[in-house]
Structure 1
Amino acid sequence: MLFRLLSVLMVTTLIGCASEVAVINGDELLEIDGVYLEPDTGQPFTGLAQWHYDNGQLKTYIHYEGGKRNGLNEDFFDDGRLAEKSTYVEGKRNGLHEEFYDNGQLMERRHYIIGQGNGVWEWYSREGDLIEQKYYVNGDVVSD
C-alpha cells in the first residue's frame, strides 16, 4: 500500500521535474461534452488529476491531454490496493484494462484498440478461477 503510494508520488515528481506537468485535484475539473477543462481558464486540461479518499489515501489518478484521458489511469481501494488499471489514447481505452477484487484477485481483463474491444476478454471469480472468456474483434464478440 505504502509502496504504491510512494511509487505514484515518485512518478508524479519525476514527471513534474522533467516537463512541469500540472497536477490538480480532480474534483476541480469541469467537464463539458466529454472534455475536461481547467477551472480557472476554461481551457482543455493537460496534466494529472488526482482524487483522494477522506483519509487522504489516493483514490484515482488520471492523465489528461487536451482535455481527454491520455495515458495510464489507476483506481485504488481505500486501503491503497489497486482496484482498476487502464490506458487511454485521446479519451478512448487502448491496450490492457484490468479490474481487481478487494482481496487482490484479478476480476476481469480486457483488451482495447482505440476504444473498441479487441482480443480475449476474461472474467475471474474472487478465488482466481476463470469464469468466462470471450474473443472480440472491432468491438464485436466473435466467439465465446
Structure 2
Amino acid sequence: MRFLPVLLLAWLLGLGASSCSRKVQVASYKELEWKDDVYFLRGQPFTGLALETHKDGKPKGEYPLVDGRFHGVVKEWWDNGTLSTETHFEKGRRHGLNRYWTRKGGLMKEQVYDQDHSVSEKHYKVE
C-alpha cells in the first residue's frame, strides 16, 4: 500500500509522455511573415513554437502559435538573460495574468486581461 503513490506517479508520467509524443514544429521567429494579424511560415498559418535569440545566442522570445496566432504563454527575456515578460494568450488575444520584470529581475507589474481587455493592474515598487 505504501508504494501506491509511487505507482500512481509512474503511471501518470507514462500518460504524460505518451500524450506528448506529438512533435511540435519549431521555427525561428525571423522566418515568420506577419500578414493580416496572422503569422505565416512558407505561406501557411504557423502552428508550433517560434523562437528568437539575442545576438549572443541567449533566448529573446518564445512564442507558441496555433493557426498563426499566439496561443499559450509568450515569454521574453532581457539581453542579460533575465525574464522580462510572461504574457498569456488565447487565440491571439491576451487573456489571464501577465507579468513584467525589470532587467534586474524585480517584478514591476502584473496585469490581468480578459479577451484582450485589461481588467486589473498592479504595480510593484522596484528598487
**Other structure's SS at 2:45 match:** coil
Aligned to 2:104: 103
Q: Does 1:92 align with 2:93?
A: yes
1:112 aligns to what?
A: 113
Letter in 2 for 1:68: R
In the alignment, what sits opposite 1:122? 122
Provide the TM-score with structure 2 as the length reference: 0.81
Count of residues in correspondence between the two structures: 109
Q: Report the CA distance between 1:74 and its aligned residue.
A: 0.3
Aligned counterpart for 1:20 among listed residues 16, 19, 23: 23
Unaligned runs of 5+ in 2: 1-16
Contact 2:111-2:122 within 8 A present in 1 as well: yes
Structure 1 SS opposite 2:21: helix
Q: Distance in 2 between matches of 1:123 and 1:32?
A: 34
Q: CA deviation at 1:36?
A: 0.3
Which whole-Å CA distance do the structure 1 matches of 2:57 and 2:38 have between them? 27
Structure 1 gaps of 5+ residues are: 1-13, 128-144
Shift in Å at residue 126 of structure 1? 2.2
Alignment of 1:1-144 (within 5 A): 18-38=21-41, 40=42, 42-118=43-119, 120-127=120-127
Offset of residue 79 of structure 1 = 2.1
CA RMSD in angstroms, aligned pairs only:
1.3
